[in-house]
Amino acid sequence: MKLLEPGEELDGFVIEECLHSGGMAHIYRVHYSDGRRDPGFPMVMKVPRMTPGDGAENIVSFEVEHQIMQVLTGSHVPRFVAAGDLTNVPYLVMEYVHGHTLDHWLEQHEPCSIETIAQLGAAMAHAVHSLHKQNAVHLDLKPANVLIRPAGSVVLLDFGLSCHAHYPDLLAEQLRKAVGSPTWISPEQVVGVRGDPRSDIFALGVMLYELATGETPFGTPQTDGGLRQRLWMDPRPPRMLRPEIGRASCRERV
C-alpha cells in the first residue's frame, strides 16, 4: 500500500505528516476534515502494510488490533476513535500519546540507577495489570511498544499480536508458528501457548533485565532452536554483569 500524502483526505480525516514507517504499518498524524473539533486529544492513523510481499500476519494483526482496541479502556492504552474497512483502506485512528518509547529511552541513557529501574518497572507493571484486568494479554511487550509519558506513567502500544478472553484468537486460528518478538517472547509462546498473562510478565522481566544490565537475557535468537533455549537455559544473574545490583537492593524493593 502506497504512503499517504499530507493533505489527502480519507473517510473524514486529513492526513498530516508520517510519524513512523515500519515493517508492519505506517502511522500518520490526522485531524478531522469537516470542521469538527478533535475529540479532546490529538489523533494518529495507523495504516497496515499490505503489499504482495507481506505475510498474512499483517492482515490478521490488523483485524486483531481493530477488535481489541475497541474494548480496552483506561489511561494505559491509547483511546480508540475509528477504523476503516479492509475492502477499502484499512486503518485505525486512535489517540496520539505524547512521550518517548522505552526503546528511545534506552538509547539515550546509560544503565540506570536501581531507583529508576524500580520506578519504570512499577509503571510498566501497573499498565500490564490494567490490561490483564480487562481479560486481555498483550503478547508483544518490548521497549518499542512501551510509551513513557512525561510524568512517568506508561501506555502500551500495538495490540496486533494480542488476545482477549472474550473474542476468538484469530492468530491462533490462522498461524501455526510461534508469534512474537524473539528477544522478548515467552517460553509459553515459543511452544504455541497463547493467552497466558504470565507471558507479559516474562516480557516485563526481560525489559527490566535490559534496563539493569544494558543486555538482554537470551540475546536476539534467529532460529527456532535459539528461541527454544529459553525453555531450559537460565540467564546470567544481573549482578554478574553489574555488581552494584546486590541481593539486599533487590529485597528492599520487592
pLDDT digits (tens, 9 = 90+) for 127-161: 999 999 999 999 999 999 999 999 999 999 999 99
Q: 38, 54, 103, 140: which is the annotated catalytic residue?
A: 140
- Give the pLDDT mean for 193-201: 93
**pLDDT for 94:** 97
- Rounded Cα distance, 17 and 11, in Å: 17
C-alpha cell at 174: 490462522
Is residue 85 part of the annotated active site? The answer reads no
**pLDDT for 251:** 43
Confidence label for 246 from pLDDT (cuts 50, 70 and 90): low
Q: Is pLDDT above 80 for 172?
A: no
**pLDDT for 114:** 86
Listed ranges 37-46, 82-91, 137-146; the one with the highest mean pLDDT: 137-146
Q: Is pLDDT above 50 for 254?
A: no
Give the number of C-alpha atoms closer than 13 A to the C-alpha of residue 126, restricted to the C-beta side.
14
Element (H or E) spanning 155, and its range?
Answer: strand 154-156
Q: Is pLDDT above 90 for 39?
A: no
Residues 6+ apart with CB under 8 A from 183: 142, 206, 216, 218, 219, 220, 221
C-beta of residue 155 within 8 angstroms of C-beta of residue 149: yes
The percent of residues in the chain predicted with pLDDT above 90, rounded, is 55
Q: Is pLDDT above 80 for 233?
A: yes
Q: Is 161 exposed, middle or buried (0-12, 13-18, 19+ CB in 10 A)?
A: buried
Residues 6+ apart with CB under 8 A from 8: 14, 15
**pLDDT for 43:** 96
**pLDDT for 6:** 93
- Give the pLDDT mean for 31-53: 84
Give the number of C-alpha atoms closer than 13 A to the C-alpha of residue 145, restricted to the C-beta side.
22
Q: Is pLDDT above 90 for 53?
A: no
On average, the pLDDT of the chain sits at: 87
